[in-house]
Amino acid sequence: MVSHIYTPKVLFMMDEEDKEFREIRDHLADDGVSVFLAKTPEEGIDNLSVINIDALIYQGDFAKQTDVLNFLKTHSKKFPVILVGQRGKNEVPSEWLNISDIYLDINSAKRELAKTCFELIENKKDHRKAA
């Protein structure tokens, strides 16, 4: 288990600020994850320029958001990418899955997202130490 001495910072991108998004955001905050919001890639770039982000999370429509996909592709080399969706993993377009480290369905995300963030960030730190 990852120590909660460090507070991970995630950039949470979404299509719209709906009930499910707010529930997930609140679960993350309750579990010790600092959440920064972005509704557009431009807002995401602004956040990345001033905040030391540990991971990127996207919740939204995978079929329509090509600008978000391009943003995540660009930054997936630096940050773990977590996708949250209402579809089954098999229904998510492969170009999205190829740039992500993990996909969680919306119901699992409420329970598992904070734990997943801590694990991905810890793995990233371990990978850097080994390199």
The number of domains in the chain is: 1
Is residue 4 included in any domain, yes or no? no
Res. 105: pLDDT tops 80: yes
Domain range holding 71?
Answer: 9-130
Is residue 97 included in any domain, yes or no? yes
Answer whether 79's CB lies under 8 Å from 102's CB.
no
Give the containing element (helix H, strand E) for 128: helix 106-130
Burial class (CB in 10 A: 0-12, 13-18, 19+), 31: middle
Is residue 28 included in any domain, yes or no? yes
Is residue 18 included in any domain, yes or no? yes
Look up tokens 């993993």; give the residue: 89
Residue 69 or 125, more confident: 69
72-93: average pLDDT: 89
Is residue 86 included in any domain, yes or no? yes
Answer whether 124's CB lies under 8 Å from 101's CB.
no
Res. 3: pLDDT tops 60: no
Is residue 125 included in any domain, yes or no? yes
**pLDDT class of 130 with cuts at 50, 70, 90:** very low
42-63: average pLDDT: 89
SS3 sequence of 29-67: HHCCCEEEEECCHHHHHHHHHHCCCCEEEEECCCCCCHH
Is residue 1 included in any domain, yes or no? no
Answer whether 116's CB lies under 8 Å from 102's CB.
yes
102-121: average pLDDT: 84
The whole model's pTM is what? 0.85
Burial class (CB in 10 A: 0-12, 13-18, 19+), 119: middle
Is residue 2 included in any domain, yes or no? no
Would you state the pLDDT for residue 87? 78
Average pLDDT, the chain: 84
pLDDT digits (tens, 9 = 90+) for 66-79: 899 999 999 998 99
- Give the CATH number, domain containing residue 49: 3.40.50.2300
Would you state the pLDDT for residue 4? 56
Q: Is the dihedral of CA 74, 82, 79, 126 positive or negative?
A: negative
27-40: average pLDDT: 89
